[in-house]
A and B are shown apart, each in its own frame.
Chain A
Amino acid sequence: MTRTTPLWEKPDAIAGVVTYAAGKPSRKDAKTLTDSASSEPNWSDLVIRVRDSQDTDAFALLFNHFAPMVKGFLMKSGADATFAEECAQDVMVTLWQKAAQFDPTRASAATWIFTIARNRRIDMFRRQNRPEPTDLPWGPEPEAEAADALALQQETRKLSAALDALPAKQKDIVKRAFYGELTHAELAEETGLPLGTIKSRIRLALDRLRAAMS
């Protein structure tokens, strides 16, 4: 099925943001917006549009999808509704500010937004610094990026399915760990998740980056 009206031109999909879009050239290539495998927008492409052209329409779509999810995640992590909402807005602002760091060959949109939400949580609950590894620049070839990004998205979906297939007890431990409910001493030694294939994907992307950097 091909989409004839790009999402960002549907008034209901971006209610309230049309004014911000006025006068801004928008790309007409609907293929970049939707993933052929599902009817969902391709979230990674939307982040890339924020990254490459500060596209507020793309941002609004991301906001409508991810902000309520981040709010839910932070409430699971122990925040009350008001505070979680405030933080979810902060997370989306950070997405806008740090979009230059988004590399779709190493993280899906959900993964990247998760890392921002996690850091916000550490900040608000534990008031600690969060040392992070040096950021690496993304690769210079957009075509290689698109193919690698697609492959990574497939691997990410497989990982998500593998998480669903875990025995209830193990799944619960993984979820509670990410909600920040467990201390590191309480974490299980083995989750039994098949991380090998997604890892080799990301490793390949990193090797390309290193080659481009030198």
Chain B
Amino acid sequence: MTTTHHLNEQMLLGYSAGVLPEAFNLVVASHLCLSDDARAMQCCYDALGGAVLNKCEKEKMSLNALSLTLQQIKTCPCDTQAPQICTGIFPEPLQKYVGDKPEALRWRSLGKGVRQAIIPTAKGATVRLLFVPAGQSVPDHGHRGTELTLVLQGVYVDHGNRYGRGDIEIATPKTTHHPIAETGQDCICLTATDAPLRFSRMLHRLLARLLRL
């Protein structure tokens, strides 16, 4: 079983290299807003990217490339907007997708008070918000792929590990987990998985059937 409270190297490198699906990027970016330790680690991987860039062979630019670019910057204003530090339980990258109010989301019931809201992203992985009432367990779910879970509110316990706001759990296909929200506060998580979508599974089945014919 591979579970952890932090991002692993694979995810950090993937995020820096820009090869993660959008759904994973959203969870990672949200996590970075909540943990300076993770943010510092992320900067290291970006520095690795900088080192790779530095070792790239230079390709000659056209003679007028610089003057064209100088003309362009003469007309484009510098971005001087001060960064806004967000309040509320949703980190800023997530707010860009769903706004800042959990109650304004279109939640769909999964039974026993557990609700989910799927956030539309590009293909490759899916991401959703999960609401689990205090003391309630998350319905059993297996995963075929990798699943990233970031806690935004409350605490859940899984196999004796406690996950609170800002903590991240990485589950692999081998992981069986039964997260239970602690009593006291409802738990809200942001969770992404790269398991195939239903559509592609159907297509797969259809193809399999056709091939047998």
Number of residue pairs spanning A and B whose beta carbons lie under 8 angstroms apart: 240
- On whether A89 and B65 interact (CB within 8 A), knowing A115-B46, A134-B86, A137-B83, the answer reads yes
- On whether A107 and B92 interact (CB within 8 A), knowing A113-B50, A133-B33, the answer reads no
Interface segment out of the listed A22-30, A116-124, A140-148:
A116-124
Cβ contact within 8 Å between B50 and A108: yes
Any chain A CB within 8 A of the CB of B149? no
What B residues does A101 contact at CB under 8 A? Answer: 79, 83
Cβ contact within 8 Å between A188 and B10: yes
Q: How far is the CB of B84 from chain A (nearest CB, A)?
A: 7
What A residues does B68 contact at CB under 8 A? Answer: 89
Interface segment out of the listed A2-10, A31-39, A197-205:
A197-205
Number of residues from B at the complex interface, CB < 8 A: 77
Which of A68, A114, A128 interacts with B22 by CB under 8 Å? A128
Which of A92, A112, A119, A183 interacts with B69 by CB under 8 Å? A92
Which of B53, B55, B65 interacts with A113 by CB under 8 Å? B53
What A residues does B213 contact at CB under 8 A? Answer: none
| Residue among B20, B39, B48, B82 with most chain A CB within 10 A | B48
Any chain B CB within 8 A of the CB of A149? no
Which of A17, A89, A136, A189 interacts with B8 by CB under 8 Å? A189
How far, in whole Å, are A66 and B122 apart by their CA atoms in the complex?
31
Q: How far is the CB of B83 from chain A (nearest CB, A)?
A: 4
How far, in whole Å, are A128 and B23 apart by their CA atoms in the complex?
10
Q: How large is the interface on A (under 10, 10 to 19, 20 to 34, 35 or more residues)?
A: 35 or more
Cβ contact within 8 Å between B48 and A159: yes
Cβ contact within 8 Å between A131 and B29: yes
Any chain A CB within 8 A of the CB of B200? no
What A residues does B22 contact at CB under 8 A? Answer: 128-131
Any chain A CB within 8 A of the CB of B76? yes
Q: How far is the CB of B123 from chain A (nearest CB, A)?
A: 9
- On whether A183 and B19 interact (CB within 8 A), knowing A64-B66, A203-B36, the answer reads yes
- On whether A190 and B9 interact (CB within 8 A), knowing A75-B59, A85-B65, the answer reads yes
Residue of B nearest to A105 (CB): B43
Cβ contact within 8 Å between A16 and B66: yes
Cβ contact within 8 Å between B83 and A135: yes
| Residue among A16, A133, A182, A188 with most chain B CB within 10 A | A133
Cβ contact within 8 Å between A71 and B69: no
What A residues does B103 contact at CB under 8 A? Answer: none
What B residues does A132 contact at CB under 8 A? Answer: 29, 93
Q: How far is the CB of A124 from chain B (nearest CB, A)?
A: 11
Cβ contact within 8 Å between B122 and A100: no
Within B66-121, which residues are at the interface with A (CB < 8 Å)?
A: 66-70, 72-74, 76-86, 91-94, 96-97, 121
Per-position contact with A for B112-147: 1 when CB-CB < 8 Å, else 0?
000000000110000000000000000000000010
20 intermolecular pairs with C-beta atoms under 8 Å apart: A17-B66, A68-B58, A69-B56, A88-B65, A89-B69, A96-B78, A97-B73, A100-B78, A113-B50, A118-B18, A131-B26, A132-B29, A134-B85, A159-B47, A184-B19, A191-B13, A198-B47, A206-B39, A206-B40, A207-B36
Question: Other CB < 8 Å A-B pairs besides A113-B50, A184-B14, 12 of them?
Answer: A63-B65, A84-B59, A97-B73, A110-B50, A111-B43, A112-B50, A114-B52, A132-B29, A156-B51, A177-B19, A203-B36, A207-B36
A residues near B (Cβ < 8 Å) are: 16-17, 20, 54, 56, 59-60, 63-64, 67-73, 75-76, 81, 84-85, 88-89, 92-93, 96-101, 106-108, 110-115, 117-119, 121-122, 126-137, 155-156, 159-160, 163, 174-175, 177-180, 182-185, 187-191, 193, 195, 198-200, 202-203, 206-207, 210, 213
B residues near A (Cβ < 8 Å) are: 8-11, 13-14, 16-22, 24-26, 28-30, 32-33, 36-37, 39-62, 65-70, 72-74, 76-86, 91-94, 96-97, 121-122, 146, 194
